Amino acid sequence: MVKPGQIDVIKQGKRPPEEFSPDKLHNSIIATCLSVRTPEGQAQDIAKTVTLGVMNWCETHPEITSADIRRQAQRIMKTLHPDAAYLYKNYKTII
Amino acid sequence: MTPVTISSLATIIFAAIIHASFQLSVSVLTLLSGHSIGKKTAQRKIFRMSNSFVLGVAMTTLLLISSISYFLSLFIHHVTSAEQLVAAISSGMMFGLGIAIWTFYFRRQPGTSLWLPRNFAEYLNKRTKKTKNSIESFALGIISVIAEIIFIIAPIIAASLAIITLPNPFLQIISIAIYVIVSTLPLFVVIVLIGSGRSISNLQRWREDHKRFLQFASGGSLLILAAFLFVDRVIGVISYGGNLW
């Protein structure tokens, strides 16, 4: 996977910024796709497309927030798998 | 069956339905299933974990309703007019909680975020994600009941008040069992739906689409139960001859 330049993810509250991790995003997309019972191969393809899309978007933004990543990932995923995109968007608002 | 028995049974079933309409346990179970499926957990293990979660919820509900019934029976049998007093207090409590549910049970934002403080909701989120076996699921079930105790206490007190006025211990035990089963019914529905292959996102979408109705129904039902309890147990007790036993 292409490694992006130094992109800091600003965290909520007093937590220090951390470096953007494409692998973390990739894994979370796969987990979301599998949660909606997507076949594993398709989940891998979606995760790859979404991660690359988010990385492209990040190139013009040296500082981003977790919410930005989630929003961009959801926007790209929506065209590939609307169900997974819905769950990804609403993950933090289930409880 | 005497009118008191009939009204007690009706109160118990109605209170259990109100309890069942509360959403925290359903939210946590939905999330737990989602995480487990996402981690490629075997279907059988997901089923086992979900059942343990429901067992935790049922056990805590059972303990709560049994202990409150026990303490209420001690109190009511030793203090004159205590039943009217407890009924009046719980009516007032249910009235207040009914309004509170209408006002802030679901947050005004997309999704099904509940009234819980965000830190605690995040903790539950993380805890659910880390849950990997049946024992942890069982504990999660217990936590989800305790976290929502501020709302479920009202229907539990109403049901307890009705349970202790039932004529014999056998009927009381059956009523407690009915209460626990009815109040956990939505969790069984979630297990069946997920077990039959329904997508988590469909479940969540249904919950989000109907959250305002659920909120209105829960709050409204609590107000109705408050009014019924007040009429039946505070004013109506006089028509039973001033004593329910």
Task: Report residue B237's pLDDT band, with 50, 70 and 90 as the boundaries.
Answer: low
pLDDT at A70 over 70: yes
Residue A14 covered by a domain: no
Predicted local distance difference test score (pLDDT) of residue A2: 43
Q: State chain B's mean pLDDT as an integer.
A: 93
A1 pLDDT more than 50: no
pLDDT band at A71 (very low <50, low <70, confident <90, very high): very high
Query: Residue B218: helix, strand or coil by DSSP?
Result: helix
pLDDT of residue A5: 59
The residue type of B98 is G
- Name which of A47-51, A60-64, B177-181, B201-205 the model is least confident about: A60-64
Average pLDDT over residues B42-62: 96
Provide the ipTM.
Answer: 0.85
CA distance to A9, A23, B4, B68, B107, per residue, from A70 (Å)? 12, 14, 56, 45, 21
The Cα–Cα gap between B16 and B20 comes to: 6
CB of B41 less than 8 A from some CB of A: no
Instruction: Say if A5 falls within a structural domain.
Output: no
Nearest CA of chain B to the CA of A88: how many Å? 9
- Residue-range definition of the domain harbouring residue A38: 21-94
CB contact under 8 A, B204 and A87: yes
Answer whether B201 touches A (CB < 8 Å): yes
Q: Which of B125, B109, B198, B141 is nearest to A91 (CA)?
A: B125
How many Å apart are CA B25 and CA B197, to the nearest integer?
A: 20
Relative orientation angle of helices A66-80 and A82-90, to the nearest 10 degrees: 160
Please give the average per-residue pLDDT across B181-204, as a whole number: 95
Q: What is chain A's mean pLDDT, rounded?
A: 90
Partners of B106 in beta bridges: B114
Residue A19, classed as helix, strand or coil, is strand
Confidence class for position B239, pLDDT limits 50, 70, 90: low
Rounded-to-integer distance, Cα B223 and Cα B97, Å: 8
The reported pLDDT for the residue numbered B240 is 61
Q: Is B26 on the interface with A (CB under 8 A)?
A: no
Do A1 and A26 contact (CB within 8 A), yes or no? Answer: yes
Least confident of A53-57, A62-66, B64-68: A62-66
Contact residues on chain B for A94, CB-CB shorter than 8 A: 27, 30-31, 34, 111-113, 125, 204
- pLDDT, mean of residues B165-172: 92
User: What pLDDT, on a 0 to 100 scale, did the predictor assign at position B76?
Assistant: 86
Domain count, chain A: 1
Nearest chain B CA: its distance from A61 CA (Å): 27
**Beta carbons of A95 and B125 less than 8 Å apart:** yes
- Give, as one character, the DSSP assignment of residue A60: T
For residue range A51-62, list pLDDT tens digits in order.
999 999 998 887
Report pLDDT digits (tens) over B69-92.
Answer: 999 999 888 877 788 888 999 999
Angstrom distance (rounded) from CA B148 to CA B67? 17
pLDDT band (50, 70, 90) for residue B33:
very high
Q: What is the pLDDT averaged over residues B152-179?
A: 95
Chain centroid offset of residue B154 CA: 9
The rounded distance, in Å, linking the Cα atoms of B99 and B147 is 19
**Residue A51 located in a structural domain:** yes
Interface of A with B in 55-94 (CB under 8 A): 83-84, 86-87, 90, 92-94
| Residue in chain A nearest B32 by alpha carbon | A35
Lateral strand order in the sheet of A18-19: A18-19, A8-10, A63-65
Is residue A4 predicted with pLDDT exceeding 80? Answer: no
CB of B35 less than 8 A from some CB of A: yes
Query: Residues A70-82: what's their mean pLDDT?
Result: 96
Q: Interior CA angle at B102 toward B97 and B107, to 5°?
A: 110
Please give the pLDDT value at position B159: 96
> For residue A13, is it within any domain?
no
* Residue B229 pLDDT class (50, 70, 90 cuts): very high
At residue B116, does pLDDT exceed 80?
yes
User: Are B201 and A84 a contacting pair at CB < 8 A?
Assistant: yes
When pLDDT is averaged across residues B198-221 and rounded to a whole number, the result is: 96
Residue A18 host element (H or E): strand A18-19
Kindly list the residues from chain B whose CB atom is less than 8 angstroms away from the CB atom of residue A93.
Answer: 109-113
